[in-house]
Amino acid sequence: MAKILIVDDSQMTRNFHAYILRAANFQVIDAIDGADALEKIYRENDIDCVITDVNMPNMDGFTMIRKIRSEQTFSTLPIIIATTLDAANDKKEGFKAGANFYLVKPVKPSVLIESVRMAIGREC
């Protein structure tokens, strides 16, 4: 069962994304911002995919992705951005930071599941 880390400062979003993924047989853990997520990625060391928001207090999603990518061990960890930011330059910055997928909120459940499956290269 793949382990997915959901990073979002909104509890409701964390819940919503977790419900969707748990119902699709994924194991889910969550983090309240980029700093918390980094801590969990390093501590757990077995996360298969990260889904992250961008605008968050403490540490934003772009900064977090750059930090993940600067570490050799996590250079290929699949990262999906799920944000309300839909402008072209935000998308560009997201991919430049090292994200693999960019989704605009509100994310449709089927799109979320499909993106995770594509990112990790398996069903669940």
Q: Which stretches of the chain bind another protein, using CB under 8 A?
A: 9-13, 15-16, 19-20, 22-23, 32, 34-36, 38-39, 42-43, 45, 54-63, 73, 84-85, 89, 105-109
CA atoms within 13 A on the CB side of 102: 20
Least CB distance to another protein at residue 85 (A)? 6
- How many other C-beta atoms lie within 10 A of the C-beta of residue 121? 9
Of 107 and 119, which CB lies nearer to another protein in the complex structure? Answer: 107
Give yes or no for a contact between 91 and 102, defined as CB atoms under 8 angstroms apart. Answer: yes
| Interatomic CA distance for residues 102 and 81, integer angstroms | 5
Least CB distance to another protein at residue 37 (A)? 9
Least CB distance to another protein at residue 78 (A)? 19
Of 14 and 100, which CB lies nearer to another protein in the complex structure? Answer: 14
| Interatomic CA distance for residues 47 and 56, integer angstroms | 21
- Residues near 34 by beta carbon (within 8 Å), at least 6 away in sequence: 7, 52, 56, 58, 59, 60, 61, 63, 64, 67
Least CB distance to another protein at residue 4 (A)? 14
